[in-house]
Amino acid sequence: MLTMDNIIKEGHPTLREKASEVKFPLTDEERQTAEAMLTFLKNSQDEELAEKYNLRSGIGLAANQINVAKRMFALYLTDDKGEQLEFVAFNPKIASHSVEGTYLPGGEGCLSVDRDVQGYVPRHARITVKFMDMDGVDHKMRLKGLPAIAFQHELDHLNGVMFYDRINKEDPFGDVPDATPYEG
Ligand code: UDB
Ligand code: ZN
């Protein structure tokens, strides 16, 4: 079972690496890693388990955060319509995106960052994404709101990008052009 001890923290070089494409079919180890990542997110959102194992309540986790430099991440969250979204995405891509941007008004955090970093993190408001699931089946879907923001945050990890790289250093809470804040 994955806990916070398995999550590497900023300063670890793997977080700055570009992760490699995953080849199909998956190895048993890759499959187990993917399942463990999704289970971590579920456990972290379970009040009892989160307290018992000291887990931060996570909605997304990229493989390089557990020191596996492969292009896969898990998402587990509720969308604007109250629908549960859960998947592990392999070799994920943004096929297209809106001109309109968005950002979390409170800024972003990260399971790999144990400090507050203040400022708006500009994201695309809507994205059309492509990825493969564990069985190598292609998926294409449109995301907006928190799922879109989370997908972009996790995809950044696979490219060695941290959320604070995108904050305007001169003016962290300055106007973000063409963007409307995401209000959950
Ligand atoms: C998170 N959760 O899981 F706007 F209901 C963050 C942490 C770091 C604060 C635990 C989070 O932002 N939850 C959240 C946000 C909302 C509404 C809501 C719950 N991550 C995952 C991560 O670090 N993955 O690498 C960071 C988030 C920043 C933007 C989306 C993912
Ligand atoms: Zn993160």
Ranges of each domain in the chain? 4-179
- Residue with CA nearest ligand 1 atom 10: 58
- Residue with CA nearest ligand 1 atom 1: 58
How far, in Å, CA of 50 to CA of 48, rounded? 5
Instruction: Please say whether the dihedral angle defined by the alpha carbons of residues 181, 139, 73 and 19, taken in this order, is positive or negative.
Output: negative
Residues lying with their CB under 5 A of ligand 2, a single-atom ion: 110
Q: Is 121 in the pocket of ligand 1 (CB under 6 A)?
A: no
Chunked into runs of 10 residues, the chain (184 residues) has average pLDDT values of: 98 98 98 98 98 98 98 97 97 98 98 98 98 98 98 99 98 97 92
How far, in Å, CA of 3 to CA of 11, rounded? 19
Confidence (pTM): 0.98
Domain 4-179, CATH number (from 3.90.45.10, 3.40.50.970, 3.40.50.620, 3.90.420.10): 3.90.45.10
- pLDDT tens-digit map of 75-88: 999 999 999 999 99
170 counts as catalytic: no
Q: What are phi and psi of 65, to 5 degrees?
A: -70, -20
Ligand 1 pocket test: which of 59, 75, 88 has the largest number of ligand atoms within 8 Å of its C-beta?
59
Q: Is 147 in the pocket of ligand 1 (CB under 6 A)?
A: no
pLDDT at residue 184, rounded to an integer: 81
- What's the one-letter identity of residue 71? R
